[in-house]
Amino acid sequence: MGFKDDKIDITKNIKVIEWLKSELLTAVASFFELFVKGIKDSQEALLDALANIILVTYLLGKRLGFSFESIDSKIENKIKLGVIEEHKIEKWYGDLSKLREYLNKSRR
């Protein structure tokens, strides 16, 4: 690959990163907008917005040079730390432990 091809790849990657950042902001804005409208009739839309946030975050991480595995590993470490430090969400609801169990089951 020559210098010109490298320049095109870098430019393309920068454009994709900017687009993904915009997509992430749009997904987060949609999520909050649904709360303003009320959750009762928006369950599917909320789920869709959350899925978009997670998906775009993984793709953005990949474009920034992180592997999906390294993102997963960082998430797992944060879950472990939250359990050890008895984060409020863990203390009150046990959500971090439940998430850790879910992730462990889904990877088997």
CA distance 63 to 58: 9
The pTM (predicted TM-score) of the whole model is 0.85
pLDDT in tens, 33-72: 988 887 677 788 889 999 999 999 999 999 999 999 999 9
Q: Are 90 and 96 in contact (CB under 8 A)?
A: yes
Structure tokens at 20: 């993904």
CA-based nearest residue to 52, from 30, 37, 35: 30
Q: What is the pLDDT of residues 7-39, one digit of tens each?
A: 678 899 999 999 999 999 999 999 999 888 876
Spatial contact of 60 and 28, defined as CB atoms under 8 Å apart: no
Amino acid at 14: I
| Rounded mean pLDDT, 76-90 | 96
